[in-house]
Structure 1
Amino acid sequence: MSREDVFERERPRLTRVAYGMLGSHAEAEDVVQEAWLRWERAGEDVRDPAAWLTTVVGRLALDALGSARARRETYVGPWLPEPIVTAADADPADRVTLDETVSLALFAVLERLTPAERTAFVLHDVFGLSFAEVGEAVGRSPEASRQLASRARRAVESARPRATPAREEQERVVTAFAAACAGGDLQELVALLDPDVVWRSDGGGRVTATRRPLHGSAQVAKAILGFARRPPLGGYAADVNGEPGLVFRDADGVITVMAFTIDAGRIAEIHVVRNPEKVTRVPAP
């Protein structure tokens, strides 16, 4: 197998690794392209191409993450990643699964970690690299890398749902949510929301969106019904980074992606991506 064939075999996974750290398709592709250039210059003595390439991508993504975080300090409102969307009725082989990427809810937790913690968690816990390989990417010893991943894991575990229901139950809740919004049913909507539900909306300052996270079922439900007062122009059920979600075009023509985290039968988190620059790859309703 040629070096180019080896790289192309690994490209999809490398792109997922870079996306999992950066939350940007374009930045992930830039990182993978730079990894290709380094692969070309590496010579023929690479014993484990998959591990070598993943480590290189991790190191490059860590560097890119520093620059990205500096830009996000001036970002308008909450920052959410570019969503990965597939229609809910798509071929199961085409569906995004959580072992292939990270959910929007997980990205919200990762944003609170240091770049090194985030890198260690994504490379080890999500993509299965050894701590020796993680250490090469973050410039730390294997033991230090283990500690980074452990701190990140504690943060992630503290934010996980207490009881994640089966997929069918998640879809039922999202369908009921859509019906309550369409019917303007405040009581039903509040019943579907966890009392401590969190709403995050990313408009990037380009379209209407809440500038701060909203908390609590009453506040979130009123905001949702205010947003849904003008019926959307079209929409569909979708998988959004492995979570049940909705995609619709609102009354102003803005494509909106919503992802839901369901905990014990209620909606615990809603992540809404409306920034037009982040939905260019989303199939339009």
Structure 2
Amino acid sequence: MDTTQALADRFEEHRGHLRAVAYRMLGSLAEAEDAVQETWLKLSRTDSDAIENLGGWLTTVTGRVCLDLLRSRAARREELIDDRVDAFVPDLELRPLSRLDPEQEVLHADSVGVALLVVLENLEPDERLAFVLHDMFAVPFDDIAPIVDRTSAATRQLASRARRRVRGAEPAAEPDLGRQKQVLDAFLAASRAGDFEALVGVLHPDVTLRVDAGTLMRGLAASKVVQGAKTVAEQALMFSRFAGSARPMLVNGTVGLVNAPEGGPKSVMALTIADGRITGMYILADPERLERLDFDGCTG
């Protein structure tokens, strides 16, 4: 086995971890894969014999790549007037909801919730990096500090500030898939029946609906943010005719829906549920972004 192949094999052992880091940093599956590939390119151009801790080195390099992408993204947003920025919906990881059992719950326990990704999107790039690497992946502040060009103490403050914002915004989501499924079933039943009061009852009073339908749809307010149970229920009734073709599925490890009225997926809905009611709804209906998602086994 030549040296390059041996290094590639070692890298592959860390790919899943690096992809998880990049997804939490970027909220985009496609960008996460690009970041991981960029990390591999940097490794292939480096004297790997001088790297004492390959896993730590790869994690910090992936973090630096993601930070550059986040800063570039932030700069572009300052230049653009785009409603999609306000209606941020992350790319979504999809899996069939074929059964609800302890084995399945353990399998998806490491999934990152959509609500948390939305909160992370509102952090400054340096805050997001410090929080993700330290709080989610236990990277020491001494290793994070050089990435953000700060002292270890200043980096600790970045993470602390991010932590306060996350705790203040992220709902305490229901962890049990069975109870999540009960709420989802109630929502679907009310939608299919066109029952406005039942819809309001299954929604939290402060529920937030975020929709990203991209730029290809015409005649519709494509991307938007809607808040409040009655307002969100009204929006749900507008699309109740599609409820019959909606299929339950796992979206980022929690229950959600894929809408495929003519065989091909038209939208994905992710839900956050707490205390028996829906606190957040996230609809991804951008045709370009839907094309990048893996629906195998989710629409059959």
> Which of 148, 170, 185 pairs up with 2:180?
170
Distance 1:253 1:22, change over 3 A: same
State the AA in 1 paired with 2:92.
Answer: P
Counterpart residue number, 2:230 = 218
Answering whether residue 178 of structure 2 is matched by residue 197 of structure 1, we say: no
CA distance in 2, matches of 1:125, 1:97: 19
Once structures 1 and 2 are overlaid, which stretch shifts more, 249-258 or 209-218? 249-258
Counterpart residue number, 2:66 = 61
CA distance in 2, matches of 1:79, 1:250: 24
Answering whether residue 282 of structure 2 is matched by residue 271 of structure 1, we say: yes
State the AA in 2 paired with 1:133.
Answer: D
Distance 1:212 1:275, change over 3 A: same
Unaligned runs of 5+ residues in structure 2 are none
Residue 59 of structure 1 and its aligned partner are, at CA, apart by: 0.4
Counterpart residue number, 2:82 = 75
Preserved contact between residue 86 and residue 239 of structure 1 (Cα < 8 Å): yes
Residue 51 of structure 1 and its aligned partner are, at CA, apart by: 0.6
Preserved contact between residue 83 and residue 279 of structure 1 (Cα < 8 Å): no
> Which of 44, 50, 57 pairs up with 1:45?
50
Unaligned runs of 5+ residues in structure 1 are none
Answering whether residue 93 of structure 2 is matched by residue 84 of structure 1, we say: yes
CA distance in 1, matches of 2:258, 2:6: 41
Secondary structure, in 3 states, of the residue corresponding to 1:2? helix
State the AA in 2 paired with 1:7.
Answer: F
CA distance in 2, matches of 1:42, 1:282: 33
Secondary structure, in 3 states, of the residue corresponding to 2:50? coil
Secondary structure, in 3 states, of the residue corresponding to 2:58? helix
State the AA in 1 paired with 2:60.
Answer: T
Distance 1:130 1:114, change over 3 A: same
User: Whose helix fraction is larger, Structure 1's or Structure 2's?
Assistant: 2
State the AA in 1 paired with 2:67.
Answer: L
Distance 1:95 1:272, change over 3 A: farther
CA distance in 1, matches of 2:273, 2:122: 21
Counterpart residue number, 1:9 = 13
Secondary structure, in 3 states, of the residue corresponding to 1:86? strand
Once structures 1 and 2 are overlaid, which stretch shifts more, 85-94 or 10-19? 85-94
Once structures 1 and 2 are overlaid, which stretch shifts more, 27-36 or 45-54? 27-36
Distance 1:265 1:189, change over 3 A: same
Residue 204 of structure 1 and its aligned partner are, at CA, apart by: 1.7
CA distance in 2, matches of 1:41, 1:30: 17
CA distance in 1, matches of 2:221, 2:12: 39
Residue 250 of structure 1 and its aligned partner are, at CA, apart by: 4.6
Residue 6 of structure 1 and its aligned partner are, at CA, apart by: 0.9
CA distance in 1, matches of 2:222, 2:201: 22
Distance 1:135 1:151, change over 3 A: same
CA distance in 1, matches of 2:55, 2:187: 42
Preserved contact between residue 18 and residue 31 of structure 1 (Cα < 8 Å): yes
Distance 1:61 1:162, change over 3 A: closer
Residue 75 of structure 1 and its aligned partner are, at CA, apart by: 3.4
CA distance in 1, matches of 2:173, 2:67: 32
Structure 2 counterparts to residues 1-285 of structure 1, below 5 A: 2-43=6-47, 44-72=49-77, 73-77=80-84, 78-89=87-98, 97=108, 99-100=110-111, 102-162=112-172, 164=174, 166-207=176-217, 208=220, 211-228=223-240, 230-231=241-242, 234-250=245-261, 255-280=266-291, 281-283=293-295, 285=299
Percent of aligned positions that are identical: 41
Residue 163 of structure 1 and its aligned partner are, at CA, apart by: 6.4
Secondary structure, in 3 states, of the residue corresponding to 1:259? strand
Distance 1:96 1:57, change over 3 A: farther
Residue 191 of structure 1 and its aligned partner are, at CA, apart by: 0.5
Secondary structure, in 3 states, of the residue corresponding to 2:248? strand
CA distance in 1, matches of 2:30, 2:178: 33
> What are the superposed Cα offsets for residues 27-71 of structure 1, whole Å, 9 maximum, x if unpaired?
222221121121122211111111100000000110011222334
Count of aligned pairs between the two proteins: 283
CA distance in 2, matches of 1:93, 1:215: 32
